[in-house]
Amino acid sequence: MSDTVICVESLWKKYRLGLIGTGTLRHDLNRWWHRVRGKPDPYAIVGQAQKSEVNRQKSELTSDPPPSSASRSTLDAQRSDTAPLPLANDEIWALRDISFEVKRGEILGIIGRNGAGKSTLLKVLSRVTAPTLGEAKVKGRIASLLEVGTGFHPELTGRENIFLNGVILGMTKDEIKRKFDEIVAFSEVEKFIDTPVKRYSSGMYVRLAFAVAAHLDPEILIVDEVLAVGDVSFQKKCLGKMSTVARGGRTVLFVSHNMAAVKALCSQALLLDEGALRRVGEVGAIVAAYLQGGRDSASEREWIDPTAAPGNEHIRLEFVRVHPPDGEPVITIDTGAVMEVGFYNFEAGINLDCTVYLLNNDGLVLCETGRVISDNDDARRGSYRVTGHLPPHLLNTGRYYLSVLFGKDQRYPLFRLEEAVSFTVENTATGRASNMSVAPGVIRPILSWSHEFVGLGRGQL
């Protein structure tokens, strides 16, 4: 369609691990001569498994045809584990069968764990590297901020690097002159503009680099994780600038591990994992899927076998549960919840405490609460059950997690289990279910309000 500015179809990218060359032409030729004769690499690291080119050619070459190039605009994009080309021992797929589209004016968040392929994807879109298979069609002028200080010369001043980097990004000299004062003001490095950038801090590098890229007025702005280096106020300024760019009809691709920033800035997101596209869709659902990865989704866990239960020589867990109060089918805003922790204490005569940490889906600790175990002044050896009650009208709709910590004298930790269980609080009429799906805010308390009519104000008589 005419409003599609990025179209990625069946994109695959292969990388070779380790050193590609030996450092000299003579050694490279010697390595090639050994390879064509099927002999081991004479410059291979001792003990490193290597495949010669001959053996690789003799390996199984049959494979499924390249994956379909159909666009994946729905959630739960399928992962393709069948590579269309064989891999040598020292090769990996950095991207596997990536397909998606981005519309003009859209802010797309790209999220995933380290090594998922996010930066590789941006480098392909920025034309820094070429794909092994598939294609990425980009329509419009691109400004990319992939690494701190990319395109900067350390010996040149900030002023000189603005002109150098601007030209690299495609700006004319007159255009840079016209926007120079605005770029410097945005970067907040006026005092150091005539200082060589080799003396800049990483934060100053980011300020200047982002300022140049953002004032290119590109049709497509690509920003990698570099904003993590800047301070909080500058990050807010950058997010505001990207929002302004998008409102002007331009497109932004934003990579970050800051899920709050992704949700605040982006309307759509895609999730990468091990080079494959896992999900594409509304940003809230994609961030939730990313944060849920590797977490236990059970609201109740019980360990029958003590030897397999989490713990140590001090504490051994027996169960952790979160459930609705008696008579309630599910946990809602109106019901509250009951928390139960069962454990076996091996150490008698200590001042033992059990603390529970309540976290939301973004990993933010909402509160800590717990109980000091003091039977006849000190805890005894044996099994205990600690029960706590979350009051109604405290938590908003969403998913929450419990972490459990056992300590001695409220000072010395004995054992901790992160995110032992999770539970979901469902919406009700008190949570504005009648007119919106989820009310804003982390908590949904019912406060006492009153009002009175005090008559007409002055000048209304």
Burial of 188 (0-12, 13-18, 19+ CB in 10 A): middle
In the numeric block, the tokens 């209304």 are attached to 460
For residue 421, the model assigns a pLDDT of 92
113 lies in the same domain as 257: yes
96 and 163, same structural domain? yes
Tell me how far apart the alpha carbons of residues 16 and 156 are, in angstroms, rounded to a whole number.
34
Do 54 and 99 fall within a single domain? no
Q: What pLDDT score was predicted for residue 246?
A: 76
Q: Tell whether 446 is covered by a domain.
A: no
Q: Kindly state whether residues 240 and 335 are assigned to the same domain.
A: no
Asked if residue 312 and residue 210 are part of one domain, the reply reads no
Same domain, 275 and 404: no
Write out the two tokens for 399. Answer: 């998913």
Long-range contacts, 188-196 (Cβ 8 Å, 24+): 188/234, 189/158, 192/158, 193/157, 193/158, 193/159, 194/157, 194/158, 194/159, 195/157, 195/158, 196/154, 196/155, 196/156, 196/157
Number of domains within the chain: 3
> Domain boundary residue among 256, 291, 326?
291
User: Could you give the CA distance from residue 358 to residue 419 in angstroms, rounded to a whole number?
Assistant: 9
Question: Does 286 lie in the same domain as 145?
Answer: yes
Same domain, 123 and 250: yes
CATH code: domain of residue 362 = 2.70.50.60
Q: Which of 262, 291, 320 marks a domain boundary? A: 291
Judgement on whether residues 337 and 357 belong to the same structural domain of the protein? yes
Strands (DSSP E) contained in 346-409 are: 352-360, 365-373, 382-390, 398-408
Same domain, 33 and 102: no
445 is a domain residue = no
Q: Give the list of residues 6+ apart from residue 414 with CB closer than 8 angstroms, or none.
A: 312, 314, 315, 352, 406, 407, 408
3-state secondary structure 417-457: EEEEEEEEEECCHHHCCCCCCCCCCCECCCCCCCCCCCCCC
> 214: domain range?
4-14+66-291
Q: Given this model, what pLDDT does residue 317 score?
A: 95
Is residue 441, in this structure, part of any structural domain at all? no
Are 203 and 256 found together in one domain? yes
pLDDT, position 54 = 34
DSSP state of 314: S
Q: Considering the domain boundaries, does residue 442 fall inside one? A: no
Q: Which of 15, 40, 9, 196 is nearest to 93 (CA)?
A: 15
Length of the chain: 461
Q: In what order do the strands lie in the sheet with 315-323?
A: 300-302, 315-323, 337-345, 382-390
**Cα→Cα distances 54→35, 50, 51, Å:** 7, 12, 8
Domain assignment of residue 447, yes or no: no
Q: Would you say residue 450 lies in a domain?
A: no
The reply to whether 151 and 265 lie within a common domain is: yes
Q: Is residue 105, in this structure, part of any structural domain at all?
A: yes
Which regions in the chain score pLDDT beneath 50?
A: 1, 45-80
Query: Maximum distance among all alpha carbons in the chain?
Result: 104
CATH number at residue 206: 3.40.50.300
Give the end of a domain, one of 291, 312, 331: 291
CA distance 365 to 27: 57
pLDDT at 52: 38
Residue 274 covered by a domain: yes
